Amino acid sequence: MIERYTLPEMGRVWSDAHKYELWCQVETLVVEAHAAAGTIPAEVVEPVRKAPPPTPERVDEIEAVTQHDVIAFLSAWADNTEPREAAAYVHFGMTSSDLLDTALAVQLVEATDILLDKADTLVGTLRDHALEHRGTLRVGRTHGIHGEPDVWGHRVADFAFAMARSRDRLRRAREAVGVMAISGAVGTYSNIDPAVERHVADRLGLRAADVSTQVVIRDGISEWVSALAIVATVCEAIALEVRHGQRTEVRELSEAFGKGQKGSSAMPHKKNPILSERICGMARIVRGQIVPVMEGIPLWHERDISHSSVERIALPDAAVATDYLLHLTNRLMSGLVVDAARMRANLDSTGGLIYTSTVLLELVEAGMSRDDQAYPLVQRAAMDTWRTGVPFRETLRSHAAEAGQRLDEDRLDEVCRPERFVERLGPVFDRLSALR
């Protein structure tokens, strides 16, 4: 992921320097376990433990010759070990995937914890914003067309619960990727005791795979990337709502616009939803990693490395992009400008057409047949309002008179009151208040 979208904490998780730190940690734990079991000399543990991780530059230099990253790492690390002979017992009984998959599991867990913290923050921001606007009337839209009265807080509450579910889904995926294996070539423990694997798993806070071949099968990692994609797509749903709300014809919502900020190089009047558009664009990047990572589940027999090149790109990109998306979406919602007056003006702009469903039911309750009388009457009046701009109650009154139908005006006043449509949302906001 390019630096523009990489936040420091997440960038550190996926840096080469940190990767080699983790590789050293895994290899040191294996050495400790072997020494405790008497498999290798105990005196090699301290020199290995003290050897500083090799620099990425040194590993790259050696890999240019060996064409093997793990061998390059072991050689570079051996150069840092005093006495160097102690390094002979590093990687004892292991295969490359033991190291790679175990360290990757640590990285995935570390990345997930960062994401979960940001998801918690965003859930709280959405919850508080929705509660603040539980009485902010706006029109609800279906197919982009005005439907019935609603409140802005109701719409945001939906996002808050969706993000909470996405966070919980990611928490479950954390368990799926916190899996390691140190089982040797083709996973048969032929040259390494399973007790070594258990020791490393315990020390790293991971779970040893129930079975591994030479790699940990990628269903868990695929689950993790899918969970990230859902988080990203919920962020996109929030951003899309803001983009629609900021359109000139709507003007109900707008992103914060700072002093000195400029919206267009050519049109000085522009205030564009740039954060929302960036969120929508970057969500595509995260979703785009699902299929390549999932295709790492089927490998040739016990192991090949067709998954490796994909994961070097896909996993950091998915994590970094999701981290940035959560940060950006929280920033968007924290500074969101809500124009309650404009929302109310838009709600009233169709002359009462948003009450047709309620009027229809009221006429049926008053004794009209739904299909033969009430629906045609309401629809004809509504179409007249669309065409002429005459308020719906007037066109309804006119068509009812023509049909010889009497309207209860007082009752219609009550059922066409916008606040009435949201009075039953109390339990929704009660549940939202308890959301954590």
26 and 57 in a single domain? The answer is yes
Residue 177 falls inside a structural domain: yes
My answer on whether 226 and 289 are in the same domain is yes
Q: Is the confidence at residue 257, as pLDDT, over 90?
A: no
Q: In this structure, what token pair is assigned to residue 269?
A: 């009047």
Do 307 and 366 fall into the same domain?
A: no
Structural domain includes residue 196: no
pLDDT digits (tens, 9 = 90+) for 331-346: 999 999 999 999 999 9
Instruction: Give tens-digit pLDDT for 104-145.
Output: 999 999 999 999 999 999 999 999 999 999 999 999 999 999
Predicted local distance difference test score (pLDDT) of residue 2: 83
Active site (catalytic) residues? 143, 264
List the domain range (segments joined by +) for residue 147: 96-191+204-258+265-347+424-436
Confidence of residue 266 (pLDDT cuts 50, 70, 90): low
Last residue of one domain, picked from the residues 92, 111, 141: 92
pLDDT tens profile 354-378: 999 999 999 999 899 999 999 999 9
User: Does residue 199 fall inside a structural domain?
Assistant: no
Shared domain for 341 and 383, answered yes or no, is no
Instruction: Give the mean pLDDT of 297-310.
Output: 92
Which are the contacts of 14, defined by CB distance < 8 A and separation ≥ 6?
A: 107, 111, 315, 316, 319, 320
Using the 3D structure, point to which of 92, 118, 148 is the last residue of a domain.
92
Do residues 342 and 357 both lie within one domain? no
Whether residues 103 and 147 share a domain: the answer is yes
Q: Distance between CA atoms of 60 and 76, rounded to whole angstroms?
A: 9
Give the pLDDT score at 119. 98
pLDDT at residue 397 in the model: 93
Q: What's the CATH number where 187 sits?
A: 1.20.200.10
Is the CB of residue 207 less than 8 Å from the CB of residue 180? yes
In the chain the first and final C-alpha atoms are separated, in Å, by 31
The pLDDT value recorded for residue 382 is: 96
Largest CA distance in the chain: 105
Angle (CA) 432 420 416, round 5° = 145
pLDDT recorded at residue 264? 66
C-alpha 364/C-alpha 396 separation (Å) is: 15
404 — pLDDT class (breaks 50, 70, 90): confident
* Same domain flag for 25 and 74: yes
> How far apart are alpha carbons 176 and 221 in whole angstroms?
7
Q: Is residue 342 part of a domain?
A: yes
Domain count, the chain: 3
